[in-house]
């Protein structure tokens, strides 16, 4: 979608005419080498400040002409039916007497879901609040409050879109129903509005509020951080060391959400969980039977692994073992109870990890980009990342999975090596993400994608050229059973020995066209040797 570039007319002639501005507001190390055309004329921080200054000088409150206060901003494609829910648009000062953008800091309890099915976005926002530096990049502190001296009825936010950070400016008119109740995101503090305005900016980015209906925590977390997300199926399909992975990733400041499908509705509801719903994972802990548990003389206390989960509704909690009202807490020492912050009916609850993997269907873990990790974290968990923008073009690089044309797909050749201090023969953890360009507002269908990674033997010379069909006829990919996925981003996790590899992103069907972004995270040194795609050699 095209964002407003004509809000701030020329200082010389006072006219409102089209003008180009910087393509992004800010960059991180996640920035790719190539920009996407869809984001060439975005507003910038300077635009926001100048626009606010203009409104203050004129004594007017901003009204966003590209996301107006009417049904077109609510509904995605179909108009509302006659007699459907009635609402009106109001500014925060018309909803509560003394509105605040943020009240006494921000927390995961600040955002509560409204009438639209975007729990996936709410749970991602909730997870984001635990990371101040990431939160403040998305929700800039220069938005200020609603004081008369600085308030002009507009706010700005930033979202990650295909390799760059996009600035979105909105006015603060929000849809409300009866009794001035916000229809969409609300806060546990009735006079706080950062969540509602962030959601409005995200809705504008995608064309309407309705466009946010249904999604995954993977999508939300990536758009809020620019990180890369791994996905784990549960209920017996999870890796044996999943608890340790979650423990490690929370220590690395990763964002984590968990989802429940709608297949076993009655069983899930019987323990007060919500089917077809996304939760955020906030903590994990281990209860040591000797250190943390009381000894009642039976001698049968055992260590317990617990996971803390939050419902974005701000209510509705697990009613099984280790829930807020569970008798199991009687066995825990008071000091440990206080540390774990057992609070009643706030949407957050603890549960035994075994119960978690039995009742939840999947977990998504969003890694931070290396450039977003603090110096201490980077020292403890060294990672490197490379990225590349590409596309599948018909009769050129859209080879698909057909064995006769597979070799013509884009090829990314890289070299993996250990950082100093690691054993030379140990394997390197590598995570590769393949994201196809997709726009909710346009309703673009996802293509079925797959990643294949092939080792390159030492005797094979690569240079700046395509590896031919004969190469792929004689090598085996490192993961022979990789499946196609029809989703925005396909992510693969590998344990690879040092050496050279070629990554081949491809669609299932040949001759399908799309743009994509390839990102490679490695817990070691990763170097791009060559990218080959049709006439593009780099």
Q: Among the options 118, 249, 311, 409, which is catalytic?
A: 311
Distance, CA of 222 to CA of 229 (rounded, Å): 7
Contact assessment for residue 368 and residue 225, using Cβ atoms and an 8 Å cutoff? yes
Placement of tokens 């929000």 in the chain: 174
Q: How far is CA 299 from CA 287, 296, 302, 304, 332, in A?
A: 16, 7, 9, 15, 14
41 an active-site residue? Answer: no
The string of DSSP letters for 152-214 reads -SEEEEEEEETTEEEEEEEE--EEE-GGG-BSS-B-SSTTB-HHHHHHHHHHHHTTSSGGGSS
Q: What is the DSSP letter of 331?
A: G
Q: Among the options 30, 55, 119, 308, which is catalytic?
A: 119
Beta strands in 393-462 (DSSP E): 411-417, 428-436, 448-455
Q: Among the options 131, 206, 277, 292, which is catalytic?
A: 277
325 an active-site residue? Answer: no
* Residue 364: its H or E element: strand 362-367
* Secondary structure, 3-state, 32-63: CCCCCHHHCCCCCHHHHHHHHHHHHHHCCCCC
Name the 3-class secondary structure at 135: helix
Name the 3-class secondary structure at 307: strand
Both tokens assigned to 447: 């293509």
Q: How far is CA 232 from CA 2, 94, 363, 495, 506, in A?
A: 36, 45, 5, 16, 22
Helices 217-225/119-128 angle, 10° precision: 40
Phi, psi of 119 (to 5 degrees): -60, -30
SS3 content of the chain, % helix, strand, coil (to 5): 25, 25, 50
131 an active-site residue? Answer: no
Both tokens assigned to 28: 């991180």
Residues 6+ apart with CB under 8 A from 47: 7, 8, 21, 167, 169
Q: What is the DSSP letter of 146?
A: S
Name the 3-class secondary structure at 248: helix
Contact assessment for residue 110 and residue 189, using Cβ atoms and an 8 Å cutoff? yes
Residues 6+ apart with CB under 8 A from 197: 101, 155, 157, 170, 172, 174
Distance, CA of 61 to CA of 229 (rounded, Å): 39
Name the 3-class secondary structure at 92: helix
Other beta carbons within 10 angstroms of residue 262's beta carbon come to 11
Which residues are tagged catalytic? 119, 277, 311
């Amino acid at each position: 979608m095209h964002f407003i570039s004509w809000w701030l007319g020329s200082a010389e002639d006072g006219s409102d005419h089209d003008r180009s501005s910087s393509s992004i507001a800010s960059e991180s190390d996640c920035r790719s080498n190539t920009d996407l055309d869809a984001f060439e004329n975005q507003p910038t921080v300077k635009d926001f400040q100048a626009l606010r200054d203009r409104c203050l000088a004129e004594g007017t409150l901003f009204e966003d002409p590209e996301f107006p206060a009417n049904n077109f901003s609510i509904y995605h494609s179909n108009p509302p039916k006659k007699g459907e829910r009635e609402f009106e648009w109001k500014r925060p000062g018309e909803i509560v007497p003394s509105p605040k953008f943020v009240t006494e800091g921000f927390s995961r309890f600040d955002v509560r879901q409204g009438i639209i099915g975007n729990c996936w976005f709410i749970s991602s926002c909730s997870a984001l609040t635990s990371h101040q530096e990431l939160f403040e990049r998305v929700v800039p502190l220069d938005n200020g409050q609603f004081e008369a001296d600085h308030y002009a009825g507009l706010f700005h936010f930033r979202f990650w879109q295909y390799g760059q950070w996009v600035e979105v400016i909105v006015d603060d008119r929000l849809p409300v129903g009866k009794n001035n109740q916000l229809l969409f995101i609300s806060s546990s503090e009735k006079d706080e509005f950062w969540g509602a305005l962030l959601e409005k900016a995200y809705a504008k980015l995608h064309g309407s509020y309705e466009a946010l209906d249904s999604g995954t925590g993977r999508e939300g977390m990536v758009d809020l951080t620019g990180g890369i997300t791994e996905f784990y199926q549960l209920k017996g399909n999870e890796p044996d060391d999943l608890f340790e992975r979650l423990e490690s990733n929370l220590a690395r400041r990763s964002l984590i959400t968990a989802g429940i499908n709608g297949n076993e509705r009655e069983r899930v509801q019987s323990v007060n969980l919500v089917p077809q719903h996304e939760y955020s994972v906030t903590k994990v802990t281990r209860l040591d039977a000797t250190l943390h548990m009381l000894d009642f003389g039976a001698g049968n206390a055992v260590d317990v692994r617990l996971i803390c989960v939050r419902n974005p509704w701000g209510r509705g909690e697990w009613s099984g073992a280790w829930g807020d009202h569970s008798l199991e807490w009687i066995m825990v020492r008071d000091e440990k109870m206080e540390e774990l912050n057992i609070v009643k009916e706030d949407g957050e609850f603890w549960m035994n990890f075994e119960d978690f993997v039995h009742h939840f269907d999947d977990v998504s873990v969003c890694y931070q980009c290396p450039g977003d990790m603090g110096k201490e974290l980077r020292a403890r968990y060294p990672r490197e990342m490379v990225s590349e923008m590409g596309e599948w073009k018909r009769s050129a690089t859209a080879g698909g999975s057909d064995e006769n044309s597979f070799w013509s797909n884009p090829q990314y050749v890289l070299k993996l090596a250990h950082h100093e201090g690691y054993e030379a023969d140990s394997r390197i953890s590598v995570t590769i993400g393949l994201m196809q360009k997709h726009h909710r507002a346009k309703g673009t269908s996802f293509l079925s994608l797959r990643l294949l990674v092939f080792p390159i033997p030492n005797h094979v010379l690569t240079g700046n050229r395509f590896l031919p069909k004969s190469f792929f006829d004689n090598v085996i990919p490192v993961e022979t059973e990789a499946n196609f996925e029809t989703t925005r981003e396909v992510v693969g996790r590998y344990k690879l020995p040092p050496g050279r590899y070629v990554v081949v992103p491809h669609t299932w069907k040949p001759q399908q066209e799309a743009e994509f972004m390839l990102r490679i995270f490695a817990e070691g040194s990763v170097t791009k040797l060559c990218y080959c795609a049709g006439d593009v050699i780099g």
